[in-house]
Amino acid sequence: MDEKNWWRDAVVYQIYPRSFADSNADGIGDLNGIRAKVGYLRDLGVDAVWLSPFYPSALYDGGYDVDDYRAVDPRIGSIEDFDALVDALHAQGIKMIVDIVPNHSSIHHEWFQAALASPPGSPERDRYIFRDGLGPDKAIPPSDWGATFGGPAWEPVGDGQFYYHLFAPEQPDWNWDNPEVRADFLRTLRFWADHGVDGFRVDVAFGLAKDFSADPLPTAAQLAQIKAGPDHPYYDRDEVDDIYAEWRQVFDEYDPPRFAVGEVWVEIPSRRARYAVPTSLGQAFNFDLLRANFDAVNFFRIVDENLTSADEAGSSSTWVFSNHDVIRSATRLGLPPATPENSDIKNSQGTTWDRDRRWLLSGGTYLPLDAEAGLARSKAALAFALALPGSTYIYQGEELGLPEVLEIPDAERQDPAFYRNAGLEVGRDGCRVPLPWTPAGTSFGFGENGSHLPQPDWFGQYAVSIQADDPASTLAFFRKALALRKQLLPAAVDAHFAWHDSPPGTLHFSRGEWHTFTNFTDAPAPLPAGEILLSTAAPADVAPPNTTIWFR
């Protein structure tokens, strides 16, 4: 793989900085904490690290409310610490990707403060999305739309105007028709590229372009009927392409060109592919496997569709089972399959809640959990993905088989999805609990002085130090898998990808001599002939339930 295209087949490890490792005993993970663990990342064998936001932030949304895009939160470190981290990663051949949050800033951003201090119609307000209220007193919001974390999407500012926020009220949306906003983000991209980052993860990449010119705006009920795409006022409009074409020019100023992966919750693969073309971001997340039941028919369809669309886009596919927004895969895959019957409750915006949120809300009682099968399936799913063409994104703790944490007292929860959807959602804190590095200590080795989200007593049994010494551990398995993948990849990249016939409930594909077989069922399956290279469960003369096997 040439230096320019490293991202096409990369294993990218997502770090949620506040919850990875704490170097200064304040209970909050930081950049020096990450730097102290570069050896861990090297031994795991990842190609790149993606850092979730580490910018100054009041943490209304875990850092996705950015006060200043070109600085480091002092609680997380300094720009010198950032440079030192990039150098330490690069010294081990690990790339660095940073999160860019271009849909919204925080209310503390200086431009939002300037907008509040300026009158309606001013250039300062034009950088955000301000509209007059309706009715004689201008007291009625411009539309009845709901925000993603609950509550209305328009916030009054006291002078007859409202500003729009897709997420929390503390996250005002930028106006991407404003040239100053566009120019400022180009400056931010160059700033971080000049600090050595190799790429960007683009938050809500499908939401930047907006058209709120309809008068009146559609009602929430009408909006719910409009598909994401050119007719939707804010999801996946065609004009996003122009934004990323400009970004691409910046990426291409660098050698090698910087790359970006867009967070694109767009269901139609051909629409999603627009973000991944070489003249745009380069890659787009596909969350299809993350949302799918662990089932051979689903997995086959999803992989086939995404490989085709990545090919058509001139990109490579992405595979992901976990991130900081969803229930951890070792738990999710231990639940009974999602069905319309067990996933049909509504949240405050009237959208369908998935089975996972309903289960979390019940404190884990709503459906029975098979934790052992969950771990087996999450390992099998990840090993399946690691063998596919494309990049695999791993979320911190996934390599440990870490389950979701349910036992966080309400008073200690941080996620706005919990606070703003009272009684309807517990939010995403359960996958953001600081990692256990050692089996004991005030924070299981996360730091010297507790952790900003409480860790449960059972966390110690998943500790890195225990797993590192146990050849049968989940960590040992992934270290082996990533090392083997590195050996097999050069030949596989140029090899033909092929599906092979296999019994119902199983899938078998190959890339040259590298074959992968996954048994998605709860019963043993006949094992294909060949030399076994790796297995997620000890193979006998059959493929055990919920297992992936690499062989040649």
Side chain identity, residue 145: W
Q: Which is nearer to ligand NOJ, 174 or 444 (CB)?
A: 174
Report, in Å, the least distance between residue 15 CB and ligand NOJ: 13
Report, in Å, the least distance between residue 347 CB and ligand NOJ: 15
Which of 325, 370, 448, 513 is in the footprint of ligand NOJ by CB under 6 A?
Answer: 325
Q: Does 419 bind ligand NOJ (CB under 6 A)?
A: no
Contact 533, 511 (CB under 8 A): no
**Alpha-carbon gap, residue 100 to 406, rounded angstroms:** 29
Please, which residues have CB within 8 angstroms of residue 544's CB and are 6 or more apart in sequence? Answer: 519, 524, 537, 538
Binding mask 240-269 for ligand NOJ (x = CB under 6 A): -----------------------x------
Which of 204, 264, 327, 394 is in the footprint of ligand NOJ by CB under 6 A?
Answer: 204
Residue matched to tokens 């300094």: 78
354-393 binders of ligand NOJ (CB under 6 A): none
Residue matched to tokens 């020096």: 32
Report, in Å, the least distance between residue 486 CB and ligand NOJ: 28
Binding mask 420-439 for ligand NOJ (x = CB under 6 A): --------------------
Q: Which is nearer to ligand NOJ, 189 or 208 (CB)?
A: 208
Report, in Å, the least distance between residue 445 CB and ligand NOJ: 26
Report, in Å, the least distance between residue 248 CB and ligand NOJ: 22
Q: Count H helices, E strands: the chain?
A: 17, 18
Report, in Å, the least distance between residue 265 CB and ligand NOJ: 9
Q: Which helix (H) or strand (E) holds 95?
A: strand 95-100
**Alpha-carbon gap, residue 266 to 343, rounded angstroms:** 20
Q: Which is nearer to ligand NOJ, 207 or 528 (CB)?
A: 207
Q: Which is nearer to ligand NOJ, 320 or 543 (CB)?
A: 320
3-state DSSP of 202-239? ECCCCCCCCCCCCCCCCCHHHHCCCCCCCCCCCCCCCC
Q: Does 200 bind ligand NOJ (CB under 6 A)?
A: no
**Alpha-carbon gap, residue 340 to 154, rounded angstroms:** 32
**Alpha-carbon gap, residue 49 to 12, rounded angstroms:** 5
Report, in Å, the least distance between residue 204 CB and ligand NOJ: 5
Q: Which is nearer to ligand NOJ, 243 or 492 (CB)?
A: 243
Which of 47, 155, 198, 203 is in the footprint of ligand NOJ by CB under 6 A?
Answer: 203
Q: Which is nearer to ligand NOJ, 218 or 427 (CB)?
A: 427
Which residue is closest to ligand NOJ by CB? 64
159-178 binders of ligand NOJ (CB under 6 A): 167
Burial grade of 44 (CB within 10 A; 0-12, 13-18, 19 or more): buried
SS3 366: coil
Contact 534, 527 (CB under 8 A): no
- How far is C-alpha 44 from the chain's CA centre? 20
52-91 binders of ligand NOJ (CB under 6 A): 61, 64
Show the beta-strand stretches assigned E in 103-258.
130-132, 154-156, 161-164, 199-202
Contact 275, 269 (CB under 8 A): no
Binding mask 2-41 for ligand NOJ (x = CB under 6 A): ----------------------------------------
Which of 34, 76, 101, 507 is in the footprint of ligand NOJ by CB under 6 A?
Answer: 101
Side chain identity, residue 407: E
Q: Which residues bind ligand NOJ (CB under 6 A)?
A: 61, 64, 101, 167, 203-204, 263, 324-325
